[in-house]
């Protein structure tokens, strides 16, 4: 079999596994590619989940049959490029915050599962691959131009907008894709080499488009699985999908000299966006002394509207209060944030910026027995409500705050 090689250059810390000897696994690459395949295919199949699933199986395989396209990874990081859990991480030590806690706001983006307070500073709690490391992804194409073109579309999308491993929505696990050699499938990727987009690509976007080679690839889907007559348009697709009306995006109006500095700025802005009111106590035990509006109105009040949850569930509060979704009143569900952050480099200027985008798919499936509840020992346990309009309003407000960052 002839292999086609792609270089994956890590641009932000990549958290893939608790195994300190493995920086990235093929399963992680394939999983991310499947997500972005569904985001593209949803623009064709709309609400017809069975048709989309059949198309995905033809490209990526299923439990009943392997994918016709083979993937291999080489170039696992040596000890020098792999940071073990608990070891000092330079990206958490080099960016001062206003209260003199280096790395605080980058750690905020990482979350409690991946960063912990140390004295002094912060440390990662899971191993990760340093930025700058290069993996080689070897792709063995199937010989079917449609399948192979869609595999490349999925890989390009994952590398252009997403990433691999944990916390990709918050800007970690980003990689730069570079075609290194080998046969490319018949189709659009011979004319449009699937390298990472340049900085000006992100400058031009107010949504995630389906154009150029992506549009050609989307058109190939009906040759794999026809569109059912009962399929609705893409705007009612239950999963995240690309395109106008289904996504929004912007490049923030600020730049820094490193991705770490952009991440710190982003982390602080995002915290202040979520927690937009002053705490009633001048010294609540943390800095800055701010809180979410929902803390008083919902958690310790009588309101049952919880728009903060539109940015992801569960939401945990100090003291044990929690808001999350339940299926049939019992099983807890997570709802990932519709917001994504990506730190992009402007090589001409020698600076970095924040590209942020959001998916506008329904907040929760409408055809399931789901509820959202506030629970805790010191609060009134009650049902609360989050609407699709909350998703649109919260993500719109975030984009507007980034566009006005310089002012």
132 vs 17, more confident: 132
Mean pLDDT of the chain: 93
Q: Are 170 and 110 in contact (CB under 8 A)?
A: yes
Q: Say what the pLDDT of residue 231 is.
A: 62
Structure confidence at residue 233 as a pLDDT band (50, 70, 90) = low
Q: Are 352 and 343 in contact (CB under 8 A)?
A: yes
Give 236-277 pLDDT, tens digit per residue.
Answer: 678 999 999 999 999 999 999 999 999 999 999 999 999 999
Residue 407 pLDDT greater than 60, yes or no: no
Residue 4 pLDDT greater than 90, yes or no: yes
Q: What percent of the chain is predicted at pLDDT more than 70?
A: 97
Residue 160 pLDDT greater than 90, yes or no: yes
Structure confidence at residue 406 as a pLDDT band (50, 70, 90) = very low
Q: Are 355 and 259 in contact (CB under 8 A)?
A: no
| Rounded Cα gap, residues 364 and 248, in angstroms | 19
Q: Give φ, ψ of 231 to 5 degrees.
A: -70, 135
46 vs 231, more confident: 46
Q: Are 379 and 229 in contact (CB under 8 A)?
A: no
Residue 234 pLDDT greater than 70, yes or no: no
């Amino acid at each position: 079999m002839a292999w086609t090689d792609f270089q994956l250059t890590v641009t932000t810390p990549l958290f893939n596994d608790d195994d300190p000897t493995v920086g990235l696994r093929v399963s992680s690459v394939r999983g991310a590619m499947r997500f972005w395949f569904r985001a593209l295919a949803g623009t064709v199949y709309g609400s017809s989940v069975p048709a989309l699933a059949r198309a995905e199986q033809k490209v990526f395989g299923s439990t009943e049959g392997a994918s016709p396209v083979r993937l291999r990874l080489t170039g696992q990081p040596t000890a020098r490029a792999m940071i073990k859990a608990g070891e000092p991480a330079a990206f958490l030590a080099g960016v001062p915050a206003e209260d003199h806690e280096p790395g605080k706001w980058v750690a905020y983006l990482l979350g409690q599962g991946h960063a912990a307070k140390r004295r002094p500073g912060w440390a990662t709690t899971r191993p990760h691959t340093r930025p700058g490391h290069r993996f080689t992804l070897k792709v063995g194409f199937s010989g079917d131009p449609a399948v192979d073109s869609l595999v490349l579309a999925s890989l390009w999308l994952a590398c252009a907008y997403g990433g691999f491993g944990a916390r990709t929505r918050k800007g970690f696990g980003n990689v730069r894709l570079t075609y290194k050699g080998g046969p490319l499938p018949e189709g659009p990727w011979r004319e449009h080499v699937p390298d990472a987009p340049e900085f000006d690509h992100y400058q031009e976007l107010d949504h995630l488009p389906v154009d150029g080679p992506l549009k050609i690839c989307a058109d190939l889907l009906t040759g794999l699985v026809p569109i059912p007559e009962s399929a609705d348009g893409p705007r009612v697709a239950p999963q995240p999908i690309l395109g106008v009306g289904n996504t929004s995006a912007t490049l923030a109006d600020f730049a820094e000299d490193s991705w770490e500095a952009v991440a710190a700025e982003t982390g602080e802005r995002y915290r202040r966006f979520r927690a937009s009111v002053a705490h009633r106590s001048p010294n609540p035990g943390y800095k800055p002394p701010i809180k979410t509006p929902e803390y008083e109105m919902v958690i310790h009040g009588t309101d049952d509207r919880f728009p903060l949850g539109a940015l992801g569930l569960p939401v945990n509060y100090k003291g044990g209060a929690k808001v999350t979704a339940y299926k049939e009143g019992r099983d807890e569900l997570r709802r990932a944030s519709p917001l994504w952050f990506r730190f992009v480099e402007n090589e001409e200027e020698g600076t970095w910026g924040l590209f942020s985008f959001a998916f506008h798919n329904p907040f929760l499936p409408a055809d399931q027995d789901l509820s959202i509840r506030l629970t805790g020992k010191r609060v009134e346990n009650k049902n609360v409500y989050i609407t699709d309009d909350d998703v649109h309003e919260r993500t719109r407000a975030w984009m507007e705050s980034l566009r006005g960052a310089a002012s």
